[in-house]
């Protein structure tokens, strides 16, 4: 059991972030044990094909991510200092890790170390250069092609949590994050079998909440001594991430019309007009027209993310969809 005690300053300093590097690392776990993460099987098939086609070698990265992974080196999974750092920013931080930090983090791993990891410990500078190259190649082949979809899901999760906190305070923010996570009286508890730790978040550092699709179905707490602590958890809608299309309840289609009911069903995860047109086969102008009607009825909300406008079901839309299910 891990318990984190929050002060008022810690609550105020709590923020969200996304990490491309973290998705790379957790996706390696998925490739190694796809049976435990069956939601991602469509991605596994595509990723393996693309990695083989591109001839990507990632032996060191793979050896640093054993299965089962009771512990990963902190330098490989740092809590993001920025809200959404680019992959090159994260790789630069990884490459700049001091040899002392590398050796200290690897000391926490069980001996004997795999050969390539032992080489990293012996020569951290050369090992980090190899590791950053492997991560870059793996990212380009296996994760980057899917990043827009992953990012939209994470952005929708952040928007959803922000609304909950605005309506109900910290208790609403943390409620339903993960089955292992609970919040009561300024204390967050994360159910863990391997250790029992109680920690006060001193200095008002707060917590970084990091939605990650590939960490599903788990949740990971990062509590390094120097960085801001982080909680990595799966966002809402992961189960629909790789689906080709959502089922439309017949009863709801009879009320809203098949196109609008289909769009409402698709918005388990956030989507733009272009993405929804691609997923449903409707034209973009037609999708835009139906979304405007759903928005006017309060069934979907919209949120600008850069140049895109993302749509997501509201609580009313969710209730209507559940009520119309067979």
Domain locations in the chain? 2-16+149-238, 20-147, 243-323
**Token pair listed for 152:** 């939209």
Please give the helix or strand (H or E) that residue 308 lies within, else none: strand 308-313
The answer, yes or no, to whether residue 87 has pLDDT greater than 90, is yes
In terms of pLDDT, which residue wins out, 325 or 217?
217
| pLDDT, tens digit (0-9, with 9 covering 90-100), for 269-303 | 678 898 888 878 889 899 999 999 999 999 998 88
pLDDT of 20 above 90? yes
Q: pLDDT tens digits for 187-221?
A: 888 887 766 677 777 667 889 999 999 999 888 88
| pLDDT tens digits, 130-177 | 999 999 999 999 999 999 889 888 888 888 888 888 888 888 888 888
Q: Give pLDDT, residue 205.
A: 81
- Please state which of the four CATH numbers 1.10.3720.10, 1.10.287.130, 1.10.10.10, 3.40.50.880 is assigned to the domain occupying 243-323: 1.10.10.10
Comparing 40-54, 165-179, 302-316, the range with the smallest average pLDDT is 302-316
pLDDT number for residue 24: 97
Q: Tell me the β-bridge partners of 303.
A: 310
CA dihedral in degrees (102, 107, 112, 113; nearest 10)? Answer: -20
The separation between the first and the last C-alpha atoms of the chain, rounded to the nearest angstrom, is: 40
Q: Rounded to 10 degrees, what is the CA torsion of 157, 33, 127, 99?
A: 60
């Amino acid at each position: 059991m891990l318990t984190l005690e929050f002060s008022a300053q810690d609550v105020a300093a709590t923020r969200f972030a996304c990490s491309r590097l973290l998705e790379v690392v957790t996706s390696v776990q998925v490739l190694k044990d796809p049976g435990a993460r069956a939601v991602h099987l469509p991605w596994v098939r595509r990723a393996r094909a693309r990695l083989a086609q591109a001839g990507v070698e990632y032996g060191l990265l793979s050896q640093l991510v054993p299965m089962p992974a009771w512990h990963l080196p902190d330098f490989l999974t740092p809590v993001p200092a920025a809200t959404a750092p680019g992959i090159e920013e994260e790789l630069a931080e990884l490459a700049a890790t001091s040899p002392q930090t590398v050796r200290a983090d690897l000391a926490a791993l069980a001996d004997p170390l795999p050969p390539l990891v032992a080489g990293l410990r012996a020569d951290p500078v050369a090992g980090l250069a190899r590791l950053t190259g492997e991560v870059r190649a793996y990212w380009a082949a296996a994760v980057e092609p899917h990043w827009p979809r992953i990012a939209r899901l994470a952005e929708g999760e952040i928007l959803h949590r922000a609304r909950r906190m605005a309506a109900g305070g910290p208790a609403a923010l943390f409620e339903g994050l993960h089955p292992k996570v609970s919040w009561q009286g300024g204390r967050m508890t994360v159910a863990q079998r391997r250790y029992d730790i109680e920690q006060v978040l001193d200095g008002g550092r707060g917590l970084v909440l990091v939605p990650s699709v590939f960490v599903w179905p788990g949740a990971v707490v990062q509590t390094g001594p120097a960085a801001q602590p982080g909680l990595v958890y799966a966002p809402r809608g992961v189960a629909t991430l790789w689906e080709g299309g959502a089922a439309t309840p017949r009863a709801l289609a009879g009320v809203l019309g098949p196109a609008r009911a289909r769009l409402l069903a698709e918005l388990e995860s956030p989507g733009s007009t272009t993405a929804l047109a691609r997923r449903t086969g409707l034209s973009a102008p037609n999708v835009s027209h139906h979304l405007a009607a759903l928005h006017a009825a309060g069934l979907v909300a919209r949120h600008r993310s850069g140049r895109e406008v993302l749509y997501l079901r509201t609580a009313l839309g969710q209730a209507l969809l559940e009520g119309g299910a067979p």
